[in-house]
């Protein structure tokens, strides 16, 4: 079969347009994460600072009951020891390192870019809702799931200063915190119909992954 030159040209142009679109959304995704990094660090620290050990234990247990991953349970002594690490090294330093370890830019770009493309294609959703949507669903929940994988697979990267068992406890506890932060932001989406659809999809997706 002879392919006409104009068909080849059309395919090349289409491919180029698609590549430019990918670059556009990847760039936007990186910029979005750059703007949200400090917010995530701050929110994790606020949860740790405002919660008792019992409160953090409950948060961990609630996360286990939802996902079914018992290996991620953070016990009382682990939380107590982790508090000491936060005090010795400073909460800001520990959580900053933690976020930089687990929130890989390349991974987040892959997750956020498609969400950006979808969000921009919906005319009746304002920028504030898209912002909450991308932060809660495009960053927090995928990062939480990725941390779960690293803990369950025994692939937590070692920290040069923090003892490994305390560093793993940080991952187990913070994955539950980030998960809750993600849901809190998803819950801020205005419009009950849209919020209900988003939350239903989230719960269904989490249930499927947990199974």
Q: Domain-by-domain residue ranges, the chain?
A: 25-210
Query: How many CB atoms are located within 10 Å of the residue 71 CB?
Result: 10
Determine the pLDDT at residue 137: 78
Question: What pLDDT tens digit does each residue of the chain (211 aa) get?
Answer: 444 545 444 444 444 444 445 577 777 778 888 888 999 999 999 999 999 999 999 999 999 988 888 899 888 999 999 999 999 999 999 999 999 998 876 777 777 776 666 666 555 556 677 777 778 877 888 888 889 889 999 999 999 999 999 999 999 999 999 999 988 887 766 655 655 665 565 555 555 544 5
Q: What is the pLDDT of residues 39-53, one digit of tens each?
A: 999 999 999 999 999
Chain-centre distance for alpha carbon 69: 17
Nearest alpha carbon to residue 103 among 43, 41, 153, 183: 41
CB 156 within 8 A of CB 146: no
Please state, in angstroms and as integers, the Cα–Cα distance from residue 88 to each residue in 93, 149, 167, 173, following that order: 10, 28, 14, 18
Question: What span, in angstroms and rounded, lies between the C-alpha atoms of 57 and 61?
Answer: 6
In 51-125, where does DSSP find H-type helix? Answer: 53-67, 76-89, 91-102, 105-120
Query: How many CB atoms are located within 10 Å of the residue 169 CB?
Result: 22
Determine the pLDDT at residue 110: 73
């Amino acid at each position: 079969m002879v392919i006409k030159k104009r068909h080849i040209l059309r395919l090349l142009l289409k491919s180029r347009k698609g590549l430019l679109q990918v670059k556009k959304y990847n760039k936007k995704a990186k910029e979005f994460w750059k703007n949200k990094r400090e917010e995530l660090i701050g929110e994790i620290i606020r949860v740790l600072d405002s919660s008792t050990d019992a409160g953090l234990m409950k948060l961990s247990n609630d996360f286990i009951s939802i996902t079914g991953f018992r290996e991620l349970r953070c016990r009382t002594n682990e939380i107590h020891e982790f508090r000491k690490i936060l005090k010795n090294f400073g909460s800001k330093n520990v959580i900053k390192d933690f976020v930089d370890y687990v929130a890989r830019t390349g991974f987040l770009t892959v997750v956020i870019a498609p969400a950006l493309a979808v969000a921009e294609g919906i005319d009746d959703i304002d920028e504030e809702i898209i912002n909450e949507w991308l932060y809660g669903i495009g960053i927090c929940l995928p990062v939480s799931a990725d941390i779960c994988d690293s803990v369950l697979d025994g692939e937590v990267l070692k920290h040069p200063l923090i003892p490994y068992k305390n560093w793993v406890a940080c991952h187990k506890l913070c994955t539950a915190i980030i998960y809750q932060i993600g849901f809190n932001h998803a819950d801020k989406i205005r419009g009950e119909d849209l919020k209900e659809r988003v939350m239903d999809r989230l719960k269904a997706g989490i249930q499927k992954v947990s199974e």
